[in-house]
Structure 1
């Protein structure tokens, strides 16, 4: 089932997609008839860090804006912030952290060089 994620990631590289969330992968998989959970996808993507992916964590303000980046989802957040987008003052919470990913340059280069093998239609094969 997780092979679909690898296929989606390779296609994203070929389409020059950047900075994506696990929700995007779930949406693409659903369009292909696969049902993946957020936990399943997030854990799999995290397993690809740092070989294929980079991970980013951003703290969300109370109004839903992505305010600032942090290095880890376990980072200590103990001071009030003012959102740079909506100017709301708030106490950041690790419960409101967005996780996003991007491809490493090495993985991107590898996929770009990799030859795409077209799928063979079985109904066209002469047996």
Structure 2
């Protein structure tokens, strides 16, 4: 039979409801949330109770902006690709231009198709 759970499913749901009720509550620690509701349990017990309800806490990372150096490197890389789809034509081959794309003509199956590029080349690179 075993020991009865310290936190019942009803209390678990109340804890999660309180924790997700507002932005202020979301930034509180699990112990602070439990204290708000008058629940006195161990930190590990709270963590397990939230995990049982599908909530796992983690600190959000701050994604750094691109530096000037990274922007220059990206532009240099993009400038090395020949033609609008030359890189992808070589990398994917028949997957983009072949019969796998149902309902798309082979000319436009990968965005701007080879036929369109040929027309633009005949018109000095200007679309009709």
Q: Give the structure with higher Rg (CA).
A: 2
| TM-score (norm: length of structure 2) | 0.30
| TM-score (norm: length of structure 1) | 0.30
Which structure dedicates a bigger proportion of its chain to strand? 1
